Amino acid sequence: MYSTMIGKIEKAIRYSQEQDRIVFNDFKVTIEGDHRNHQVSYHEGAWGCDCETFQQTGYCSHSMAMERVLRGMIPVPQG
């Protein structure tokens, strides 16, 4: 029992250190902005944010921040 759990913990540590194994496909997060909180999403390769800038331009500081945080763990758009 304990040896099995030790093996699982060792594998979890290895996976967490090899972040190229981790690919985010879909998520929602809240970013605490300077003026209010913002909901940032990522779904099937597309970013989203509820802020006015994103609605107007398709990008914003909130989505760009998440891109930086998750660099290497989100699929790179093809094409």
pLDDT reported for residue 72: 81
pLDDT reported for residue 10: 94
> Average pLDDT per run of 10 along the chain, which is 79 residues long?
86 90 90 95 94 96 94 74
- Contact at 8 Å (CB) between 7 and 1? no
CA 59 – CA 62 distance, rounded (Å): 8
Question: How many domains does the structure of the chain reveal?
Answer: 1
pLDDT reported for residue 47: 95
pLDDT reported for residue 55: 96
Provide the 3-class DSSP secondary structure of residue 68. Answer: helix
Kindly report whether the global pTM for this prediction surpasses the value 0.85. Answer: no
CA 12 – CA 20 distance, rounded (Å): 14
In a domain, 15, yes or no: no
* Residue 61 CA, distance from chain mean position: 14
In a domain, 5, yes or no: no
Closest among 15, 70, 20, 12 to 45, alpha carbons compared: 70
In a domain, 7, yes or no: no
In a domain, 70, yes or no: yes
